[in-house]
Amino acid sequence: NDLNSVLAYCPETQDKSKGAWQTNIGNLLAEITFELGNPIFLKRENKNIDICLLNHGGIRSVIAKGDVTTRTAFEVMPFENSLIIVGLTGKEIKALAEYIIKEKKPHPLYGMKIYIDSTNSTINKIEIKNQPVIESQLYYVATSDYLANGGDNMTFFKNSTIKFDMEYKLRNMLIDYFKKVDTIPNITTEKIILE
């Protein structure tokens, strides 16, 4: 019964297969992770999350148009992954951006824009919160424990010694978010911009 209790309404199907560089469900998950993770990080460490990066493969279902239940959250995120904040330098952020462009998968991303040359897929510029990335600066990236440990070949996370475990499952974040909102937004913001 708990799994079937209606938490919110989704006016448009959220699907990871629709979109070359970003998807509405990816945008949603990255934004939820940022929105719910940041107050905890701020309270515990007195720091703010700069960006969020999750993995496309971690999304296991669509959020269908209609009622959204607790079961929906379990279907979208069946794994026991929890939120980890990883500290990366601007130089490592560039490696992260290069990984995304090379992979050509719409990995859930929030707080960062990557501008690429449409002819040869080289990166023209990277912005975090509308500011150019500074190589020596430290940025805090919200991700899953799976990726923080180098899953999906994300070695830039694995090599970092700056990690904070927020002890908050991504699925629980999803459920908490569904409970908080009436209607699930359809977020189509572009994170990878072809120039």
Would you give per-residue pLDDT tens digits along the chain (195 residues)?
688 899 999 999 999 999 989 999 999 999 999 999 999 999 999 999 999 999 999 999 999 999 999 999 999 999 999 999 999 999 999 999 999 999 999 999 999 999 999 888 899 999 999 999 999 999 999 999 999 999 999 999 999 999 999 999 999 999 999 999 999 999 999 999 999
What local confidence, expressed as pLDDT, does residue 135 receive?
94
Q: What angle is formed at CA 140 by the lines to CA 134 and CA 145, rounded to 5 degrees?
A: 140
What local confidence, expressed as pLDDT, does residue 37 receive?
98
Domain ranges of the chain: 6-109+136-186
What local confidence, expressed as pLDDT, does residue 66 receive?
97
Amino acid 49 reads I
Taking a C-beta distance cutoff of 8 angstroms, is the pair 22, 29 a contact?
A: no
Written as one string, the DSSP assignment of 6-72 is EEEEESS-B-TTS-SS--HHHHHHHHHHHHHHHHHHHHHHS----EEE--GGG--S-B-SEEEEHHH
- In the three-class reduction of DSSP (H, G, I as helix; E, B as strand; rest coil), residue 113 is classed as strand
Nearest to 94 by CA among 109, 119, 114: 114
What local confidence, expressed as pLDDT, does residue 119 receive?
85
The DSSP bridge partners found for residue 67 are 9
What local confidence, expressed as pLDDT, does residue 2 receive?
82
What local confidence, expressed as pLDDT, does residue 154 receive?
95
What local confidence, expressed as pLDDT, does residue 3 receive?
87
Report the top-level CATH class of 6-109+136-186: alpha beta
What local confidence, expressed as pLDDT, does residue 145 receive?
97
Give the residue carrying structure tokens 């515990």: 44
